[in-house]
Amino acid sequence: MSQDIGPSRDAGPTVVIGRDEKPICIVDDDAVVCDSLSALLDAHGFKALAHASSAAFLADERRGRLGCLIIDQHMPGTDGLGVLATLRDENITVPSILITGRLDASIAERAAKLAVMAILEKPFPPGRLIELVRAGLDSRA
């Protein structure tokens, strides 16, 4: 059984309690996307942590202890690949899935340089995301 510990996006992350493993983090400025992906992960037994902005994610000290990261490319402030570059500069490695509504060659090239494990264009099949999350967790085992 899962428990939602708080819906506030401005005050900090929403945490959904699931399996005892490193959390799967979602970073997306669209609350509907965060809520939908959190519910999807919860339904598959994952522990989800959601942030509504790249700034909120980068301020969270747990960012170095994640099982997998699902991050939107197009957000106000630092974009998804900018966040991944910051993590790399901090020597934080985490399997990352980039989600975007607008994929172009420059995004794909930057993502490859940052070792993004996959790029999913919105809308994407929920099952594909779950497969990628499992693969990301398996790569850390």
Q: CA 67 to CA 141: how far, in whole Å?
A: 10
- Sign of the CA dihedral running 131, 19, 1, 15: negative
Q: Which DSSP symbol is given to 72?
A: E
The pLDDT assigned to 94 comes to 95
The pLDDT assigned to 88 comes to 96
Residue-range domain boundaries for the chain: 14-136
Domain 14-136, what fold?
Rossmann fold (3.40.50)
Task: For residue 89, name the pLDDT band (cuts at 50, 70, 90).
Answer: very high
